[in-house]
Amino acid sequence: MATSEADRMGQGDVGRTSQGDVGRMSEGGARRMSQDGAGRVNQKARTRRAIVVAARELARTGSDVTMPEVARLALVSEATAYRYFPDLVSLLSETFEGLWPSPAEALAPVADSRDPVERIMFACEFLLRGVLGNQGAVRAMISGTITRPDLTAVRPGIRFGLIDYALAPFETTLAARDPLTLPRLRQGLAVVVSAEALFVLIDLCGLSPDQAIASAAGTAAILVAAAFRDASAGHG
């Protein structure tokens, strides 16, 4: 049967409408997929942040930091916590970010001092009191990197920034007298101005926290005074 022109026009309209509907449906589906994808990304970011915040809160108490306890505080399963952080060391590495001020901020009270002994003693006490305040997390980090030496690169190394800043005003002077003095002094101070030294003094030597800090700071002062005295003698 012949098809009238009106029928042909109607069929064309139906075709165009169907194609338009399909296009709008595709666009709507794409938007929903995009929104769903963004939602998942945002949820993952929120979960990751919740885990880190929980670890920081636990660290500030000085208590032992473990993945099960962090997961409990973050209101996620331990399996979820491990999906975001494959081990405790990687979580602690991110946890420590932002917990410590910059060396300049930390040593602001002695910023105008030109006494290397005063500056290094202040840096030592600042570090060790911070370690005590977060000792559960610090001990866990040390323990984790001892058993996994391949992870030592993620340790924050806060001592080095403090030592370098404390000695910064004297670098030129020391280098001019003896180029080996400063590197050797930094190495010696890295042993003394450290969480490891603090824990040895407390755990093995039986000192109180305050006694341990005073002992470490005093040893650091002896190292600095000797280095400057030897550098002066050599120059003379």
Of 124-138, 147-161, 211-225, give the lowest mean pLDDT range: 147-161
pLDDT at 6 over 60: no
pTM above 0.75, yes or no: yes
CA distance 190 to 223: 11
pLDDT at 4 over 60: no
What's the CA dihedral at 128, 129, 130, 135 to 10 degrees?
Answer: 80
Confidence of residue 18 (pLDDT cuts 50, 70, 90): low
Q: What is the DSSP string of 76-96?
A: S-HHHHHHH-SSHHHHHHHHH
pLDDT at 13 over 60: no
Q: What is the pLDDT of residue 111?
A: 96
Q: What is the pLDDT of residue 125?
A: 98
Q: What is the pLDDT of residue 38?
A: 65
Domain ranges of the chain: 9-78, 100-235
What's the CA dihedral at 107, 142, 153, 213 to 10 degrees?
Answer: 20
CA distance 142 to 163: 20
Note the pLDDT tens digit of each residue in 33-69.
555 566 677 889 999 999 999 999 999 888 889 999 9
Note the pLDDT tens digit of each residue in 173-223.
888 888 899 999 999 999 999 999 999 999 999 999 999 999 999 999 999
Residues 50 and 70 sit within 8 Å (Cβ to Cβ): no
Q: What is the pLDDT of residue 92?
A: 93
CA distance 115 to 108: 14
Q: What is the pLDDT of residue 156?
A: 87
- Over residues 217-230, mean pLDDT: 94
